[in-house]
Each structure stands twice: as structure tokens, then as C-alpha cells.
Amino acid sequence: FGHEAFDLWRLNPGESLTTPVFSGLYTDQGFGAASREWHAYLLQHVVPRAEETRPILYNSWEATFFDIDEENQKKLARVAADLGVELFVMDDGWFGRRINDRAGLGDWWPNPERFPNGLKPLADEVHALGMQFGIWVEPEMVNPDSDLYREHPDWVYHYPTRSRSEFRNQLVLNYAREDVGAWVYGWLDDLLSRNAIDYVKWDMNRPFSEPGWPDEAENPERLWIDHVRNLYDILDRLRRAHPHVAFESCSGGGGRVDLGILRRTDMVWTSDNTDALDRLTIQ
């Protein structure tokens, strides 16, 4: 085979590469047995807190979309509590200038007009109602219309000679960069330290595009593995620092469900489609 058939990873003298983990399973009992063996393996060795029953969750998105503020979320929380909900999750729209999907992604502080006293009053109300409090984030993405992007336009994947394509008005942050990873961990750790948050819904709503890294022109393949390594490192550190917090992998509705992410998250948001009949097929 010619070398062009393979992705290349440049190793300098003295360097080494540890590849991502590959997991395989064999059975001579057919697909049903293979499925059961995988489930047993995941529950025993991969999924955190697999023995715990997951709480009944209410998510605010379909009720309010981006029209979020402290008072309407408290009202929703009271309705959810009356229904027997155990975990109330506030979705997109609580931070920065995030009044729609065109701005604010990357500016992770409570919108001062919508939450003039921060998140504490809402979290306190949710807890007083006997529920846990969860929050939505999308840490791998940024809107060009954000303070973060205006300050760090070099923090996204891009090629100097190509336009930066936006999907959902978003660009992808370069998690392969150590400074980006440090910044992401810093604000998430601060968010969880300052607020009584029990659950984090980690979303990822678009694929990579223009996956360039100008600073690593000699070894561009670092991008793919280092992004995931730093993602895993952030999640691992957050779980150690905040062991009471549960994490959900949302990723566009089930778009990232693999053993690596399942090892670090307590739940997967399988789909935005919650119609009962459709879910039979999706599940």
C-alpha cells in the first residue's frame, strides 16, 4: 500500500504514541448473545454508578426554548415537582447574550438580565421542591458572535486559506490545544464550585469542519487524538473534583455513544425525539 492510504502521525526522536483503546468481543452464539455480553461488560466494567437507578428527569427546552429566566424556570420547576420529577434540568439560554442560537455560545456566565442574582435562587428553589438541579452546556463549540471568539479567534479549528464554515452558527473549539483545555476545565470547575449543580448535560451539536490546526502544520493528525484525550481529561478531572455531579452525553441526540464516553458519563441523551413509538425503534 502507498503511504497515502494511511493517516500519518509524526514521531520525533524519543517520542512514542499510545493508540486509542480498541475493544472487541467474540461469541459463537449469534447476535443476541453478543448484544447481551456487551451489555453485561459495559455495566460491570465501563458505565459509572451502573448499579444506581437514574432519576426521573424533566428538561426545560421544549417548554421555553431560549425564553429562559429565573421566574419562568421556577414556575416550570413547580410543575415538574408536582408530576413527581426527581431532576430538573435547565437547558440552553441561561448564559451570556444567548437569546437565540446566533450569539453567546462560549460566554459561560449567567445572563444578568435573566438571572440578576445568578443561578443560586433557582437552584435553591429546585432543591426546596425536593429535586436535583441540572444545567445545559455545550463546551466544545463557540458562536462567532461571542466575547470568547472575539478574544480568541485562533482557538477554533481552521485553515488559514479557507473560510470558516458555520453550522448552527457555531465553530468548533480546538480541544487539542492545551490552553483551550485549561480554559474549558477552569470555567466548568468554577461553575460547579459556585453553584449547587447536581447534573451537567454536555451537548455537542455539530460535526468538525475545516479541521486544520495551523500551529501543528507538521503533525496535523494530532488534532484527532488530542481533542479526544483532552476531552476525556477534562471529564475525568471534573468527576474527581465534583464526585456528586452526574454527567450526560447529549451530542446532538445520541451522536457520541462509545465506550470512552460511556466510561465518563452517567447517561446518554439518545434523541431529541421523545415520541414513545419512535423511541421503540431508536432504543
Q: Which of 81, 83, 112, 84 is nearest to 96 (CA)?
A: 112
| Residue 167 grid coordinates | 453550522
Residues 283 and 254: beta-carbon distance below 8 Å:
no
The terminus-to-terminus CA distance of the chain in angstroms comes to 40
| Active-site annotation holds for 203 | yes
DSSP 215: G
From 91, 107, 203, 266, active-site residue: 203
User: Of 91, 62, 87, 64, which Cα lies nearest the Cα of 75?
Assistant: 64
How many whole angstroms separate alpha carbon 34 and alpha carbon 153? 46
Indicate the residue type of 156: V
Within 13 Å, how many C-alpha atoms sit on residue 44's CB side? 6
Active-site residue (options: 190, 215, 272, 278): 272
Write out the catalytic residue numbers: 203, 272
